Structure 1
């Protein structure tokens, strides 16, 4: 078998060396030394890291498709996505500045871009009350300006300040998930939240804990992934509990703002409809005035 592995085409060897290095490629691939635990862990970490980067490039695509197809961001917390996007962007800038291997943080690039698009869609379809009065184009321009300002700030901020920002991603991760968790609990529904995105984030956090410990060893980054894992598991439990349920407030009350009376009557539950029967007035008698009503009893 080693006669084959030692004579693989040059492009396969170059690719393997670029991923795991010359030493581990020779040990694991060419010599098939499966007892080399250090190189096995390193190779597994590299494989998981590249898989996470590829998975991260499409992780939020199902969420995007759900929002666009439904033309609604119901059930998604704008606060959660803003804080989560900021956390991704800080980790991306911190890892790039410290020259960590791209396989240990690359998915943050794609997740940041996808989260920015989702945030813009939330502002477009379900704007907060402070922006609801503005036209859609103005809301979008305002949001893009905020995104560009944050990107420029992270690009020029000193490394020491950026390290403090990375520490701040711990509370950011916490506060980015709490609004979504609270909103799910209050509505007893997860709305347009994508199950694929939640499950992928759980798996990604687990793998990132391993790759960070193997290749980076930064306790701040590891703590961030550990906290994100716990919160994503809680979101996953909510999806399991509320699977197939619509929002409580929409079922019980229905939409009431900006809807005609005719549609309100169609959407109202049957139990809340009251039929009122008004008896016809006697011929030749005028109806009494409301303020001068007289009561009488008919005698046969």
Structure 2
């Protein structure tokens, strides 16, 4: 068997060496040394890391398609996506500045770009009150300007400041999920939230905890992934609890005396209000009914 593994085509060997290094490639692939635990863990970490990077490039695509197909961002929290995008961008910059292997953070590049697009779609379909009066083009331009300004700031800021920003990703991760969790709880629905994205994030955080511990060993990055894992698990539980449920309607109050065909979508309890409706007599010329005559009246419950 080793006669085959030691004579693999050059492009396969070069690819393997570029991923796991010459030492581990020789030990695991050429010599089939399955007892080399260190190289096995490193190779597994590299494989998981590359898988996460590839998966991260399409993780948010189902969410994008849900919003575009429904032409609505109902159920998605703008605050949550803005904070999550900031956390992704900071982790991407911090990892790049520290020369971490691309396989340990590469998905953050794709997730940041996808989140920017999702945030723009939320602003387009469900703008906040401060931007609702502006046109769709104006809202898009303002959002893009904010994203570009933050990206430039991450590039020019010194390394020490970026390290502080990385510490800030811990509360950012917390506050990026809490608005979405609260909105799901209040609506008793997850709206246009993608189950694929939530499940993928749970699996990705689990894998990232392993790859970070194996290849990087940065406690700040590991803590961020651990917190993100816990919050994504909460979102996953909400997806399971509210699966197939529509958001609760906002009840503005009872509607009185409206026929079934024209009645708005409100809940009306007949016992809540009683209104006396006086119907004029059949003869319009008579000013008042005869004494003792029956009044034309009825109670509408």
TM-score normalised over the length of structure 1: 0.89
1:249 Cα shift? 2.4
Work out the CA distance in 1 between the residues paired with 2:223 and 2:215: 15
Structure 2 residue 224 is the aligned partner of structure 1 residue 224: yes
Structure 2 residue 55 is the aligned partner of structure 1 residue 55: yes
Work out the CA distance in 2 between the residues paired with 1:193 and 1:211: 28
Match of 2:165 in 1: 165
Match of 2:243 in 1: 243
Q: How does 1:63-212 map to 2 (within 5 A)?
A: 63-212=63-212
Q: How does 1:251-262 map to 2 (within 5 A)?
A: none
1:285 Cα shift? 2.9
SS in structure 1 opposite 2:122?
helix
Work out the CA distance in 2 between the residues paired with 1:170 and 1:66: 29
CA spacing shift, 1:279–1:209, aligned 2, 3 Å: same
Query: Aligned-pair RMSD on alpha carbons?
Result: 2.4
Work out the CA distance in 1 between the residues paired with 2:53 and 2:203: 12
| Unaligned stretches of 5+ residues in structure 2 | 295-301
Of 1-10 and 202-211, more deviation after overlay is shown by 1-10
SS in structure 2 opposite 1:193?
coil
- State the aligned residue count: 286
- Say whether the 8 Å CA contact 1:281–1:287 is kept in structure 2: no
SS in structure 2 opposite 1:161?
helix
SS in structure 2 opposite 1:83?
helix
Structure 2 residue 298 is the aligned partner of structure 1 residue 298: no
